C-alpha cells in the first residue's frame, strides 16, 4: 500500500496534544488520546514523538508562542519613549484577556516542568523572551524581577479567578523597575 503524503501530520499531532491537555490535563495525555484527537494512526504519534516528553516539549514550545506573539505584535517594550511598567502591564492584560483556556494551558505546561526536567529549558524560553526586551531598558536583575512579578500576578489571576487589575500590575511593576528606564 502506498504511503499517504501528509506534510501537516506532525503539526496536527501537536495541536491535538494541546487540545487534549487543555481538556483533560497532562494526566490525560497519551499517544493513544492524541492519535484519536488528531485522527491519525497511533503509529504516527510515536513516529513523530518517540516519548510523551518529546510531545510535551513541542506543545509547550508552541504554547509559548501565545505570549511571545502578543509581545512581538505590540513592540511597546522596545520603545524608549513608552512607560515600561505600563507597557508590560498592558501586554499582560491583553494576554490574560485573550483565550483563557490557552493561557491556562500554557501555565499547566509551564508548571509541568517542575516534575519533568526535559520541559525546563522550554519553560525558561518564556521567561527569557520577556526578560530580553526589559533588560535592554533596565538591567538583567530588574528584568528577572519584573518577569517573576508578572508570573506571580498571572498565577494569582488564574488560580483565584480574580479579574486582572492592570493598574495594580502597573504600580507593582513601577516599584520593581524603578523610576529610571535606561540601562544601568
CATH at residue 18: 1.10.10.60
Query: Do 135 and 66 share a structural domain?
Result: yes
Asked whether residue 182 is assigned to any structural domain, the reply reads no
Determine the Cα–Cα distance for residues 16 and 34; give it in Å rounded to an integer. 6
pLDDT above 70: residue 181: no
Residue 1 falls inside a structural domain: no
pLDDT tens track for 144-162: 999 999 999 999 999 998 8
Regarding whether 149 and 115 lie in a shared domain, the answer is yes
Mean pLDDT of the 83-107 span:
86
CATH number for the domain including 88? 1.10.357.10
Whether residue 168 is found in the same domain as residue 78: yes
Assess if residue 108 is contained within a domain: yes
Number of compact structural domains in the chain: 2
Mean pLDDT calculated for residue range 128-154: 93
Residues of the domain holding 19: 7-50
What's the pLDDT tens digit per position in 20-67? 988 888 889 999 999 999 999 999 999 999 999 999 889 888 887 766
Bigger pLDDT: 9 vs 99: 9
The band of 179, judged by pLDDT with boundaries at 50, 70 and 90, is: low
Question: Is 128 domain-assigned?
Answer: yes
Q: What is the mean pLDDT of the chain?
A: 86
Predicted confidence band of residue 1 (pLDDT cuts 50, 70, 90): very low
163 and 74 part of one domain: yes
CA distance 155 to 5: 42
Q: Are residues 45 and 65 in the same domain?
A: no
**Apex CA 151: angle with CA 147 and CA 155, to 5°?**
170
Do 88 and 16 belong to one domain? no
With a pLDDT cut of 70, the percent of the chain lying above it is: 92
For the entire predicted model, the pTM comes to: 0.79
Bigger pLDDT: 113 vs 101: 113
Amino acid at each position: 500500500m502506498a504511503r499517504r503524503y501528509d506534510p501537516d501530520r506532525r503539526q496536527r499531532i501537536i495541536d491535538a496534544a494541546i487540545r487534549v491537555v487543555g481538556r483533560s490535563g497532562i494526566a490525560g495525555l497519551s499517544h493513544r488520546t492524541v492519535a484519536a484527537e488528531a485522527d491519525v494512526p497511533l503509529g504516527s504519534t510515536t513516529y513523530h514523538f518517540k516519548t510523551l516528553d518529546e510531545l510535551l516539549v513541542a506543545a509547550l514550545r508552541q504554547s509559548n508562542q501565545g505570549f511571545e506573539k502578543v509581545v512581538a505584535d505590540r513592540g511597546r517594550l522596545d520603545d524608549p519613549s513608552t512607560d515600561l511598567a505600563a507597557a508590560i502591564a498592558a501586554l499582560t492584560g491583553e494576554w490574560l484577556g485573550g483565550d483563557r483556556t490557552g493561557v491556562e494551558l500554557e501555565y499547566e505546561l509551564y508548571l509541568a516542568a517542575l516534575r519533568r526536567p526535559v520541559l525546563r529549558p522550554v519553560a525558561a524560553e518564556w521567561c527569557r523572551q520577556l526578560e530580553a526586551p526589559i533588560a535592554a531598558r533596565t538591567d538583567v536583575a530588574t528584568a528577572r524581577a519584573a518577569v517573576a512579578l508578572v508570573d506571580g500576578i498571572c498565577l494569582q489571576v488564574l488560580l483565584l479567578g480574580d479579574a486582572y487589575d492592570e493598574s495594580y500590575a502597573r504600580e507593582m511593576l513601577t516599584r520593581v523597575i524603578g523610576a529610571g528606564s535606561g540601562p544601568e
